[in-house]
A and B are shown apart, each in its own frame.
Chain A
Amino acid sequence: MNEPAAPKPAPRIAIVGAGPAGCYTAQFLRKRWSLADIVIYDRHDAPYGLIRYGVAPDHLGTKAIAKQFDRLFARDGVTFVGATDIGTDLTLDQLQADFDVVVLATGLWADRMIDTFHSAATTAVGAAPVAAAPLAGVYGAGRLTRLINGHPAESVQGLHIGRRTVIVGNGNVAVDLVRLMLTPAEVLVSHGVPNEVAAALTAGPLEHMDVVGRSPVYAAKFDLAMIRELGKLDDVRFTSDSPGDDVDENDETAAQAAGTDAPADGTAKADAIRELVEGSSPTATRTVAFHFGWTPDRVFASDAGEVGDAGEAGEARVSRVTFTATPGAGQRDATLELSTDSVCTAVGFTETEGALLRRDAIASPTADLERGLLADGLYCVGWFRRGPVGTIPANRADARTVADAIIHDVEAAAAVLEAAVTST
Chain B
Amino acid sequence: MKFVILYGTESGNAETVADDLVDELSADNEVESIDMTDAELDTLTPDAFFLVVCSTHGDGGLPASAVPFAELLDAERPDLTGIRYAMFGLGDSSYETYSRGSERIDERLAALGAIRVGEYGRHDASDGSLPNDTALEWARDLVSTLDDVAAVA
B81-132: which have CB < 8 Å to A? 92, 94-96, 125-130
A158 within 8 A of B: no
- Say yes or no: A63-B64 contact (C-beta < 8 A), given A393-B10, A393-B11: no
Number of interface residues of A (CB under 8 A): 19
A2 within 8 A of B: no
List of A residues within 8 angstroms of B92 by Cβ: 61
List of B residues within 8 angstroms of A60 by Cβ: 125-128
- Say yes or no: A392-B11 contact (C-beta < 8 A), given A61-B92, A224-B59, A397-B64: yes
- A393/B57 in contact, CB under 8 A: yes
In the complex, what's the smallest C-beta–C-beta distance from B33 to chain A, in angstroms? 11
- B129/A64 in contact, CB under 8 A: yes
- Chain B facing A: main interface SS: loop
- B16/A68 in contact, CB under 8 A: yes
A53 within 8 A of B: no
- Chain A facing B: main interface SS: helix
Q: How far is the CA of A71 from the CA of B127 in the complex (A)?
A: 19
B13 within 8 A of A: yes
B43-74: which have CB < 8 Å to A? 57, 59, 63-64
A24 within 8 A of B: yes
A371 within 8 A of B: no
In the complex, what's the smallest C-beta–C-beta distance from A78 to chain B, in angstroms? 14
A332 within 8 A of B: no
- A65/B126 in contact, CB under 8 A: no
A43-89: which have CB < 8 Å to B? 60-61, 63-65, 67-68, 71
List of B residues within 8 angstroms of A225 by Cβ: 59, 95
Q: How far is the CA of A225 from the CA of B91 in the complex (A)?
A: 14
Q: How far is the CA of A67 from the CA of B94 in the complex (A)?
A: 19
- A24/B12 in contact, CB under 8 A: yes
- B13/A65 in contact, CB under 8 A: yes
Tell me which of B12, B64, B126, B130 has the highest count of chain A C-beta atoms within 10 A of its own C-beta.
B12
In the complex, what's the smallest C-beta–C-beta distance from A279 to chain B, in angstroms? 13
Q: How far is the CA of A396 from the CA of B96 in the complex (A)?
A: 25
Closest to B130 in A: A67
- B130/A68 in contact, CB under 8 A: yes
Proximity bits, A221-265, B CB within 8 Å = 1, else 0: 001110011000000000000000000000000000000000000
Residue in A229, A396, A397 whose CB lies within 8 Å of B94: A229
Residue in B10, B12, B64, B130 whose CB lies within 8 Å of A27: B12
In the complex, what's the smallest C-beta–C-beta distance from B45 to chain A, in angstroms? 18
Tell me which of A61, A64, A224, A397 has the highest count of chain B C-beta atoms within 10 A of its own C-beta.
A61
- A61/B16 in contact, CB under 8 A: no
Closest to A64 in B: B128
A195-228: which have CB < 8 Å to B? 223-225, 228
List of A residues within 8 angstroms of B129 by Cβ: 64
List of A residues within 8 angstroms of B11 by Cβ: 65, 392-393, 396
Closest to A395 in B: B11
In the complex, what's the smallest C-beta–C-beta distance from B32 to chain A, in angstroms? 14
A127-165: which have CB < 8 Å to B? none
- Say yes or no: A396-B12 contact (C-beta < 8 A), given A67-B130, A225-B59: yes
- A71/B12 in contact, CB under 8 A: no
30 A-B pairs whose Cβ atoms sit less than 8 Å apart in the complex: A27-B12, A60-B125, A60-B126, A60-B128, A61-B94, A61-B125, A61-B128, A63-B128, A64-B13, A64-B129, A65-B11, A65-B12, A65-B13, A67-B130, A68-B12, A68-B13, A68-B16, A68-B130, A224-B59, A225-B59, A225-B95, A228-B96, A229-B94, A392-B11, A393-B11, A393-B57, A393-B63, A393-B64, A396-B10, A397-B64
